[in-house]
Structure 1
Amino acid sequence: MARHWPNEGARRVSMSTTVFSVRLLVAAVFVSSVATSAAAKPLQPYKDALFGYPAILREDDGGDFRVVDYQELRDINGRDQIPERRVKRAYVSLGVKSSQVNETLDLGGRSLDVTRVGPDRGAAFTVIFIHGRGGDRRLGANDFSFGGNFNRLKNLAVGNGGTYYAPSVRSFDAAGVADIAALIRFAAEQSDGRPVVLSCASMGSFICWGISRDQKATAALSGMMVMGGVADPAFEESAAYKARLPMLFSHGSNDSVYPAEAQLALYRSLKNKDYPIRFVLFETGSHGTPVRMTDWRNVLNWILDR
């Protein structure tokens, strides 16, 4: 004979509610732990005295807009052993080359030549650099050109558990955008969803603007950098804009290839809409100045902190 306990239905509801609540709590803890593990820590200093901005001439928008002092005699001739070709030895640490490999990635049927610095899995963060016209992966892997700034980026990546990719972009059209979108997704998967930052220089900015329209690639990014690049007047129609992807523009005030005024106008338009954006303008700097002078640690810490 079956025994019927008083308020048996209420007991079952109570037990079901308890089990459900415990499951919700476990799920919340799991999500929280994943989010915590995915957050990158601030990058530790690396030769900041050599690579930090020489002097801030002007600062507006709560520090989001900066005009930085740039002097060719000091920042090229005084910094390089052979001007624009080989930086002085104090600016580089070559031990990082033990963590560097050239490889061809198969990205879902798309092959892409890259230089990778750092682990191929589990990176705390990933930085991807896109070169301009006439370049390839060797430009972003060169330790001695651009004042040693790429060597610093390599050391910042490896020293902080990150990975750096310098791919060879075959074209600056839709095909090139598709290649880099595949690399972004690959990097995010290999690092279990940890931050990925895309940086584009000169004509490489066409790739950044193309990526900004790719919803899946944008969703895998934590920030974007455009150095001495073109402005995109239709950016506010992009997936990146709707996602409020943090952006950093850096430009030389005397850039004769892509004049700074267009990028400044885009910055001001976005800033007026309270968009997360920063602008670093190098006073008297030319087209290549941002690649040489942009403070990678300063920018990456701002992006990773968001």
Structure 2
Amino acid sequence: MSTVQLAKSAAIAVVVTVLATVQASALEMKPFKDALFSYPAILASEDNGDFITVDYQEMRDINGRDSVPEREVKGDYVSLGVRWKQDFEEIEAGGREIEIFRAGKIRNAGFAVIFIHGRGGDRKLGANDKRFGGNFNRLKNLAVDNGGVYLAPSVRSFDAAGAQEISALIGTVRANAPKARIVLSCASMGSFICWSIARDPQTVAELSGMMVMGGVTDPDFKASAAHQAKLPLFFSHGSRDSVYKADQQIAAYKALKKEGYPTRFVLFQTGSHGTPVRMTDWRDSLNWIFSR
């Protein structure tokens, strides 16, 4: 083989290696009931689509979607075969026994989504197929169908001790799924867990992104390890949230966006405190995180 041929072969090998690396790192979940769960209408879009205002109507998005409003979604919105691949169990993490709900397999999972409930909730909230417009059932199916795992732990406290337990759970997931993209998603008061973990460099290094749905604002986020690492941060919030005001979270987003931070915001126009858990498009938001 001539020197020119050797050089060409080497160049091709490099290109193939680079392409294989890119493909291995790329992750995009396949559609699952997108026609039912995609955002109904985009009222406004800013920052090249990173801030969108979504049309939300209670009569359509609750009464029209549920057979029993806020208690049971219509059958078209759920696929219950996933129940054969889920379980309630206890998992040892950092010397602690943590109660979790699991859909999919942790070992060698391609990605993991960990959902943190708010005050008064437990692992059963994130396991519920028929409440919240069937949104958790969709997340289960997305995880199982795409080689990932969905975990919903019971959080015993929303303080440093609770955050340590979730950090330990993340460490256990990483030990069993070395290549997994791990996303921590926190709703309502559960956002205290996200913001606390954002200050832990070791745990932040294991994460691919965080989601804060109807959560509290962290005024000190810019001093966190997550901010330093530019960990992708997704927000969703109802414009009429009476528990945690949307304006404060929007201001936090705008400050981050101004500095070029990887962040996205979905505002549900007229939505209340619980709207993001019902209406956030899991496939869209997770694919955004995975693409960063």
Does the alignment reach a TM-score above 0.5? yes
- Indicate how the Cα distance of structure 1 residues 303 and 75 shifts in structure 2: closer, same or farther if over 3 A, else same: same
Q: 2:224 aligns with which of 215, 223, 238?
A: 238
Distance 2:225 2:218 in 1: 13
Amino acid corresponding to residue 46 of structure 1 in structure 2? F
Is residue 94–residue 169 contact of structure 2 (8 Å, CA) maintained in 1? no
| Number of aligned residues | 278
1:78 paired residue among 64, 78, 83: 64
Residue in 2 aligned with 1:273? 259
Structure 2 Cα separation of the partners of residues 217 and 180 of structure 1 = 9
Note if 1:256 corresponds to 2:242. Answer: yes
Matches of 1:170 and 1:110, distance apart in 2: 12
8 Å Cα contact 1:188/1:195 also seen in 2: no
Alignment of 1:119-158 (within 5 A): 119-158=105-144
**1:199 correspondence with 2:185:** yes
Structure 1 segments of 4+ aligned residues over 6 angstroms from their partners:
31-35
1:49 aligns with 2:31: no
Give matches, 1:142-221, under 5 Å: 142-221=128-207
Counterpart CA distance in 1 for 2:211 and 2:217 is 12
1:164 alignment partner, SS class: strand
SS in 2 for 1:222: strand
Query: 1:172 touches 1:204 (CA, 8 Å); kept in 2?
Result: yes
- 1:290 maps to 2:269: no
Deviations 1:206-251 (A, max 9, x none): 0000010011110000000000000000000000000000000000
Structure 1 unmatched runs, 5+: 1-24
Larger Rg: 1
Q: 1:103 offset after TM fit, Å?
A: 1.0
Of 35, 43, 51, which residue of structure 2 is paired with 1:65?
A: 51
- TM normalised by structure 2 equals 0.92
Instruction: Give the C-alpha shift of residue 108 in structure 1.
Output: 2.2
**Alpha-carbon distance, 1:120 to partner:** 2.5
Gaps of 5+ in 2: 1-12
What is the alpha-carbon distance in structure 2 between the residues aligned to residue 221 and residue 185 of structure 1?
10
1:25-71 CA-partner distances (Å, limit 9, x unpaired): 9xxx7x9978864x252100000000000000000000000000000
Identity of aligned residues (%): 63
Indicate which of 86, 89, 95 corresponds to 1:100. 86
Give the aligned CA root-mean-square deviation in angstroms: 1.7
What secondary structure sits across from 2:207 in the alignment?
A: coil
State the TM-score, normalizing by the size of structure 1: 0.88
- Asked whether the 8 Å contact 1:141–1:150 carries over to 2, the reply is yes
Which secondary structure does the structure 2 equivalent of 1:62 belong to?
Answer: helix
**Alignment deviations for residues 231-278 of structure 1 (CA, whole Å, 9 cap, x no partner):** 000000000000000000000000000010110110011011000000
